[in-house]
Chains A and B, each alone.
Chain A
C-alpha cells in the first residue's frame, strides 16, 4: 500500500524536542525561533548529553560559543554606534576584530550564517534603529542626530533612513506621534 505523506517539519521537530527534553527532566521554554531556554536540569545531566540526544534527530545545537560570539558582535556594534567619538576613528572591521580578537572574515562569516544578514547591513539597521529612538525622544534635532551617528550630513541620514524604512524621518515621527495619541485616546 502506498500512502503519501507530508511532513510538517516544524511540528515534527518541536514534538521531538519536547519529548526528549521532558524525558531528560529538563525544564525549558520554547521561544519559537529555533531557540529554547533551558530553565533547569538535573544535576546529573550535562549539556553534552542533551546535545547528543538531539543530534540523533538531526536537531543541531548551535554551540553556545557561536551564539555568544554573535551576541558579542551585536553588542559591540551597539556600543560603537552609541559611542560617537570612537565610531569616527574606527571602521567596523578593525574595531570588531580588535575588540573580539577574531579576524573580521571569520566574524562576518559566522554572523551572516547565523543571522542571515551581513554585519554591514546589521550596522545600518542598528544605526537607523538608534536614529528612530532619538527621533521619537525629540530632544535632538535631525542634524544633531546625524552628527551623533556619524553621518556626513542630514541628507545622508535621511537618505539611508528612507532606504531602510521606506519612510522619511519626518513621516516616521509623525506616524509614531499619532500612534501614541491614538493609544492615549484608547
Chain B
C-alpha cells in the first residue's frame, strides 16, 4: 500500500470541510490522491466519464445541493462499473434511522464528521486501512460495513 497510491474522492458542498479533509488525508503516511467535488452532480458526472480512473473510496456528504449524498449513493450502487467502489458517507450527526438507511442503501462506511482534527485523521486512516484489507483479502466485501 505504501507504494500504491489510493485514489480517493470527496463530495462535500462545504468548503471548510473539504479543506480540513484534505489536510487530514494529506498528513497520512498513506499515499493518496484526492479528488474534490462540490456537489453530487459533479461527482457523478466525473464518475461516469469514459476511461476515467475510478477512485477506490468515495467519501460522500449527505446534505448537498443539486444532488445530495443519498441520490449519489443509489446511483453509484446501481452502476455496474461503480459497484466495486467503497462508499463512505461523511456527514454531520444524523438519527440512527438515517444512518441505517445509508447502509441499507449500499454505503459501506459511515463517518460522523468529527469535531477534532486528530479524530478526523484517525477516522480516515482507519477507513483506508480496513478498506485495504477488504480489497486485498479473503474477506467478504458484501458485508463490509464500518461505522465511526
**Interface residues in chain A, defined as those with a beta carbon under 8 Å from any beta carbon in chain B:** 8-11, 33-34, 60, 74-75, 78, 115-117, 122, 125-126, 129, 132-133, 136, 165-167, 171-172, 174-176, 178-179, 182
Contact = CB atoms under 8 A, between A and B. Distances in A.
B105 A182 contact: yes
Interface in B123-140: 129-130, 132-133, 135-140
A29 to B, nearest CB: 15
Interface of B: 1-5, 7, 31, 33, 53, 100, 103-106, 110, 129-130, 132-133, 135-140, 143, 145-148
B133 A172 contact: no
B138 A116 contact: no
Contacts, number: 74
A175 B4 contact: no
Contact of A116 (B53, B104, B132, B147): B132
A126 B140 CA distance: 9
A166 B146 CA distance: 6
- 9 closest Cβ contacts across the A-B interface? A166-B147, A132-B143, A34-B4, A175-B103, A178-B104, A129-B139, A10-B5, A116-B1, A179-B104
A175 B98 CA distance: 12
B145 A167 contact: yes
8 contacts: A74-B137, A74-B138, A115-B136, A125-B133, A129-B139, A166-B146, A167-B145, A179-B103
B75 to A, nearest CB: 13
B136 A125 contact: no
Nearest to A8: B33
